[in-house]
């Protein structure tokens, strides 16, 4: 069973497990990518001055590490679980949902199964998120997920 047109946004933004792909730190076009790119743009050429700033505060001695991490975030590396390009390549949930023809795990007759490949505490979170979607509906769960921290 899959969503009708009323939950297109939920299917686009949420993985079958219930995690928000759209708000993931690696999601192409997501807020983390956009903010990291904007931050790096605002700091263009700062690396030339970071050493001087380290005299005021030693944290600036680590600017190169910050720049490398922000650069990783700014690239965006994942288009989400449903794209087949998930950053978590070993996760079995997306493939299982496709094989069973469901858009979210809670719609599967075998949910919660023992073969998700998820370890605790993510397994417990997967069960809780899918039960919440079953109770509230994917649209409401998705809407609520937009106002909660991703991590």
Q: Which residues of 91-114 are buried (b: 16+ CB within 10 A; e: fewer)?
A: bebbebbeebebbbbbbbeebeee
Domain boundary at 40, 56, 75, which?
75
Place of tokens 């998705």: 142
- The structural domain count of the chain equals 2
What angle, 0 to 180 degrees and rounded to 10, lies between the N-to-C axes of helices 138-145 and 122-136?
120
- The rounded distance, in Å, linking the Cα atoms of 29 and 120 is 29
Are 60 and 127 within one domain? no
Model pTM?
A: 0.81
Contact of 79 with 85, CB cutoff 8 Å? yes
Q: What is the pLDDT along the chain (151 residues), one digit of tens a residue?
A: 555 545 788 998 999 999 999 899 999 999 999 999 999 999 999 999 999 999 999 999 999 999 999 999 999 998 888 887 777 767 888 889 999 999 999 999 999 988 888 888 989 999 999 999 999 999 999 999 988 888 8
What domain range is 143 assigned to?
1-25+82-151
Phi-psi region of 145 (alpha: psi -120 to 50; beta: other; left: phi over 0): alpha
């Amino acid at each position: 069973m899959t969503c009708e047109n009323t939950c297109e946004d939920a299917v686009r933004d949420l993985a079958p497990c219930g995690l928000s792909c759209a708000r993931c730190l690696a999601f192409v076009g997501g807020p983390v990518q956009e903010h990291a790119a904007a931050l790096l743009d605002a700091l263009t050429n700062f690396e030339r001055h970071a050493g001087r700033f380290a005299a005021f505060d030693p944290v600036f001695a680590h600017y190169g590490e910050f720049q490398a991490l922000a650069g990783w975030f700014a690239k965006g590396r994942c288009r989400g679980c449903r794209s087949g390009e998930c950053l978590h390549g070993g996760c079995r949930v997306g493939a299982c949902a496709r094989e069973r023809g469901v858009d979210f795990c809670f719609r599967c007759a075998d949910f919660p199964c023992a073969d998700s490949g998820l370890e605790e505490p993510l397994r417990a979170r997967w069960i809780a998120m899918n039960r919440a979607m079953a109770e509230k509906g994917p649209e409401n769960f998705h809407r609520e997920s937009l106002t909660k921290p991703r991590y």
